Chain A
Amino acid sequence: MLSVGILALSAQQAIEAGSWLIVIVVAFIAMSILVVYSTRRMIPAKYLLPGLILLLLFQMWPIIYTAATAFTNYGDGHTLSKEEAIVAIQGQSVRQDPDAPRYGMSVAVPEGAAIETGELSLLLTVAPAEDGSELEEGAEEGGEAELGENITDDGTRLFVGTEEGLQPLSADGVEVLGNGTIGTAPGYRVLNLMEANERAQDVQDFAVPVGEEGEAAVKPATTSQAFVGRPTITYDEDADVMTTAEGKRYVAQEGNFVPEDGVGAALPAGWTENVGFDNFRTIFTDPTFRTGFLKIFLWNLAFPLLSVGSTFILGMLLALLFNDPRLKGKGFYRSLLILPYALPIFVTGLVWAAMFNAQFGLINEVTGLSINWLGDPWAARFALLLTNLWLGFPYMFLICTGALQSVPSDVKEAASVDGAGPVRTLVSVTMPLLLVAVGPLLVASFAFNFNNFTLIYLVTGGGPFDSGNSLVGNTDLLINFAYRLALESGTPNIGLASAVSIVIFLLVGTISYLGFRQSAALEEVN
């Protein structure tokens, strides 16, 4: 029952974090564990449940999550909820009054009150050198002290700021520290740094209204300073409209507050909202996407086909060679051949990219060619196939070696007894047997190369690009194209990216399904 204990713990954490969805999921899992394991019945379920839960969590959940995201505008500038965005916009709009003085500030509660709950006030000081005359208008009469009594010997003026407003603070018995903050004041318990920090959120939200209409406020700037500022944007909840100080109105539209008159940019913070099929519509109607799609799709078919074909042929030929019983030192050669497979693609990809450099690259230097490998579309495609051949043949070599060793020698002997030469034996006996074993792996390899994002990204970056079209690269695979379209062009848009990956998922799924059906047919023939 350890697992249930752990579950309870994570539920506790989730509750603290306020993630109710997680709490529900955890509770559901805990219940199914209890149901399955607490009785002696349901024997198969006892074996299946762990795998099932992991499958749901790690396979289904990301897919569902991606699918759900595809119907939203989630992305840069649309990560908040609308409420958060409204708060953020207003908070960001608070501007410091340039003429107002900077206050020295201490946070205090009334003497005797508890730190955690006592009513906060800000004890403020204005250094004598500064001209704070404008602000005294905001300081109301009738506090504990009259204006005039709040001036210390060295001319520092003292105020106390509450949520009602700014009032003079009698200088009697007040100790002003070197940094302009108040150390002690009669009637107040001045909080030290860590005490004040326990109420950091309260302090952060604290505003002492000042000015004629109280629209400006004294707000904490640091732990020891306060500034006078005012929000320059206000929100009208009923109309759902943001209004700036100049009177410009912004209305809510497609996850942003946009100017009502259509002039200028939207307010920076936006929110996530449901956009229905908009992302999918973009995919099929956006002119860039549509024109680029066919070209990229053709290359996306050619690249994995040619890659699988070339790596398989080279790998198989090498496997046949090293499978010959007459060859000495096979182990050594074989381990050498595995090397490219053992190196991380991040290294090989970048090294090959450097080698293809037209001016400084090793390949042109050694061969004496002057091919603009990465600048010419066809050369770049060829360069990619070459790189992938280097990267991929050891894998094919490995699986072919394995498959060849499992081809029984008596079949081959029988063939030679029947009078077949080596070539005939290879074509008619060895190959069919080999293909049965490696066929499904070829399909898997195709599916992998269909989405071989990393290689393209590292070697050509999708380029070269046709002049004036920096979205559709000549060596882009669909996945690279989608990545660029959704994340690199303008504002990263995760919603659109999710929609694109669903489309790719459907494509790869269909092709792989057809491929596996083919290879199954192959098996039946034999």
Chain B
Amino acid sequence: MPEITFRDGNRGTVAALGQRGAGDLTTVRRRTMKRTTGAVAITSAAALLLSACGGESGEENTDSGANAEESSGDDAAAEEEGGVDSAATSEGAPAASDGTSLVIWADDLRAAALEDVAATFEEETGVPVTLQVVANENLREQFKDSVGAGAGPDIAVGAHDWLGELVQNNVVAPVQLASDLSGQFNPDSIEAFTYEGQTYGVPYSVESLALIRNTELAPDEPETMEALVETGAQLVSDGEAELVMAQQLGQEGDAYNMYPYLAAYGGGIFPLLEEGGFDASEVIIDSEETVQGGEKIAWLAEQEALTVNLDGSNTIPQFVEGKTAYLVSGPWAIEQSTEAGINYAISPIPDFEDGGETTPFLGVNGFYVSAESQNPQIAQTFVQEYVSRADVQVSLYEAGDRPPALTEAYEQVAADDEDIESWGQAAEGGTPMPNIPQMNAVWGPLGKATADIVSGNDAAERLGTAQSEVEGAL
């Protein structure tokens, strides 16, 4: 199923990602085309509207720019200016970098979290900040398209697995982090924002799949997957639950959700390079190790722990309605669980009895600097000197409830918030999702292979066909 039903944006970093991105691509292209022609349309009001809009926002920005210039260093005026308020709710064509204020695109949650940071930045530097809310599902494409057209923001907040595609199209500029600064981050998070040896963003959160447990139904953390399945099945036969476990899969499968098992014995998609990153020239989907993981998926399906009938729209509700004691999902599942009053505990996805260590993908969120920014140094200052501050990372955590990427901030938050500590533990040992564009060719075939394995196909055979499909597409 398409990625339509998810309200949480970070789910967007997840499987079938290429599909969604591509979907937007066509619409966006069509839209841009119309916009260009609209500007030309003589009698049509579109031209009038467009020029009017352009003029207006230009004026507004110039005003704030001039104001800030007069008062650079002067706190009060910059604060008064409040680029934040004026922009937070603006609609229509998103504000673009124009050399007078720092334009940041983020989704609604993150934009709200950034307001304080933006105010601090304005106060300390005198540079007005325009926070532009862009719907999460459109952000990636809009960022890509508008920078390509020379009208993008200075900074965009997004997921790390966009990186390869953004570099390919020259959308993002390298971020030259001081080495002592990059050392203060979770190393995985920096690696996630590194592409072919170059760093392109500053991370602020790390997330991964974990086991969320209903503590009323299952008070004890399962030691192994086998124990989990046993307890889950017991609950079902006792009539206390309806499902052994809930995990998103769907008819078309879900390589992101199945990756922890596929990689449990050292397999996966691409071999890991020692210096970090993946070697995209080799595909290891049909390797012995991956097949071993695939057989575990088949086993979980036999035990009725996995089913293709659970997809993005109905997986979390099973847990929220108390129909299962175990949910394998990410931080995006927490809000609904809390609202429903479920008592839950978070722990890493258990390993297998025979030593297979489940390895989830890590999704990292961070700040990108546009390659076409009109304020390149100011944008770099914001991401390098402000985003990397512990207080900023903490306030971003407060908005999104994801473990901060900055070690100091993580430790500070984890001390008070048990959940964050658990998420952090779940992410330990995880692998950042590949940020190479080649992943687009993997999600589909590998996802469908996992669905077929769950439906009863032979793991070795099915992963073999997935391997040849992926190889053919690359």
Given contacts A25-B40, A492-B21, contact A76 B168 (CB under 8 A): yes
Tell me if B412 is interfacial: C-beta within 8 Å of chain A.
no
Residues of A within 8 A of B310 (CB): 359-360
The segment out of A90-98, A149-157, A426-434 that lies at the interface is: A90-98
The segment out of B41-49, B287-295, B345-353, B402-410 that lies at the interface is: B41-49
Task: Pick the residue among A102, A222, A350, A375 that contacts B380 (CB under 8 A).
Answer: A222
Contact A3 B168 (CB under 8 A): no
Given contacts A76-B437, A203-B377, A375-B251, contact A193 B126 (CB under 8 A): yes
Residues of A within 8 A of B308 (CB): 375
- How far in angstroms is the closest Cβ of chain A from B474? 7
Tell me if B18 is interfacial: C-beta within 8 Å of chain A.
yes
Contact A488 B18 (CB under 8 A): yes
Alpha-carbon distance A33/B42, docked complex (angstroms):
9
- How far in angstroms is the closest Cβ of chain B from A195? 8
- How far in angstroms is the closest Cβ of chain A from B251? 5
Task: Pick the residue among A88, A93, A200, A375 that contacts B376 (CB under 8 A).
Answer: A200
- How far in angstroms is the closest Cβ of chain B from A467? 5
Residues of A within 8 A of B251 (CB): 374-375, 460-461, 463-464
Tell me if A299 is interfacial: C-beta within 8 Å of chain B.
no
Contact B26 A497 (CB under 8 A): yes
Tell me if A227 is interfacial: C-beta within 8 Å of chain B.
yes
Alpha-carbon distance A504/B374, docked complex (angstroms):
42
Contact B197 A10 (CB under 8 A): no
Contact B444 A350 (CB under 8 A): no
Tell me if B266 is interfacial: C-beta within 8 Å of chain A.
no
Tell me if A354 is interfacial: C-beta within 8 Å of chain B.
yes
The segment out of B31-39, B88-96, B108-116, B393-401 that lies at the interface is: B31-39
Task: Pick the residue among A269, A461, A464, A470 that contacts B169 (CB under 8 A).
Answer: A269
Mark each residue of chain B from 364 to 387: 1 if its CB lies under 8 Å from any CB of chain A, else 0. Answer: 000000010011111011001100
Mark each residue of chain B from 295 to 321: 1 if its CB lies under 8 Å from any CB of chain A, else 0. Answer: 000000000000111110110000000
Contact B178 A227 (CB under 8 A): yes
Contact A360 B39 (CB under 8 A): no
Tell me if B429 is interfacial: C-beta within 8 Å of chain A.
no
Contact B39 A76 (CB under 8 A): no
CB-based A-B contact count at 8 angstroms? 243
Tell me if B462 is interfacial: C-beta within 8 Å of chain A.
yes
Residue of chain B at shortest CB distance from A62: B33
Contact A490 B441 (CB under 8 A): yes
13 contacts between A and B (CB under 8 A): A6-B42, A6-B47, A9-B51, A79-B169, A196-B377, A197-B377, A221-B178, A268-B164, A268-B167, A461-B252, A467-B457, A489-B441, A492-B21
Residue of chain B at shortest CB distance from A357: B309
Alpha-carbon distance A212/B173, docked complex (angstroms):
27
Tell me if B390 is interfacial: C-beta within 8 Å of chain A.
no
- How far in angstroms is the closest Cβ of chain A from B380? 4
The 8 closest A-B pairs by CB, nearest first: A468-B465, A487-B22, A359-B309, A490-B441, A88-B170, A222-B381, A77-B168, A490-B473
- How far in angstroms is the closest Cβ of chain B from A189? 15
- How far in angstroms is the closest Cβ of chain B from A24? 10
Residue of chain B at shortest CB distance from A102: B178
Task: Pick the residue among B51, B127, B170, B371 that contacts A193 (CB under 8 A).
Answer: B127
Given contacts A88-B371, A488-B19, contact A57 B41 (CB under 8 A): yes
Residue of chain A at shortest CB distance from B438: A490
Contact B314 A357 (CB under 8 A): yes
Tell me if B9 is interfacial: C-beta within 8 Å of chain A.
no
Interface of B is mostly: helix
Task: Pick the residue among B29, B36, B375, B473 that contacts A489 (CB under 8 A).
Answer: B473
Tell me if A204 is interfacial: C-beta within 8 Å of chain B.
yes
Alpha-carbon distance A346/B5, docked complex (angstroms):
10
Q: Which residues from chain A sit less than 8 Å from chain B, CB to CB?
A: 3, 6-7, 9-10, 13-14, 17, 19, 22, 25-26, 29-30, 33, 50, 53-54, 57-58, 61-62, 65, 76-77, 79-80, 84-85, 88, 91-96, 98, 102, 192-198, 200-201, 203-204, 219-225, 227, 229, 232, 264-265, 268-270, 346, 350, 353-354, 357-361, 374-375, 457-458, 460-461, 463-465, 467-471, 483-484, 487-492, 494, 497
Residues of B within 8 A of A268 (CB): 164, 167-168, 195-196
Residues of B within 8 A of A354 (CB): 313-314
The segment out of B67-75, B204-212, B232-240, B355-363 that lies at the interface is: B67-75
Contact A265 B281 (CB under 8 A): yes
Task: Pick the residue among B170, B173, B252 that contacts A269 (CB under 8 A).
Answer: B170
Alpha-carbon distance A487/B443, docked complex (angstroms):
13
Contact B176 A227 (CB under 8 A): yes
Contact A470 B40 (CB under 8 A): no
Task: Pick the residue among A96, A264, A458 that contacts B4 (CB under 8 A).
Answer: A458
Alpha-carbon distance A7/B46, docked complex (angstroms):
11
Residues of A within 8 A of B187 (CB): none
Contact B462 A467 (CB under 8 A): yes
Alpha-carbon distance A465/B468, docked complex (angstroms):
16
- B43, B125, B127, B307: residue with the most chain A Cβ atoms closer than 10 Å: B43
Given contacts A88-B170, A95-B198, contact A194 B41 (CB under 8 A): no
Contact B376 A94 (CB under 8 A): no
Tell me if B148 is interfacial: C-beta within 8 Å of chain A.
yes
Given contacts A269-B167, A353-B1, contact A29 B40 (CB under 8 A): yes
Residues of A within 8 A of B311 (CB): 357
Mark out the residues of chain B between 316 and 359 whose CB falls within 8 Å of any chain A CB in the assembled complex: none
Task: Pick the residue among B170, B438, B452, B466 that contacts A80 (CB under 8 A).
Answer: B170
Tell me if B2 is interfacial: C-beta within 8 Å of chain A.
yes
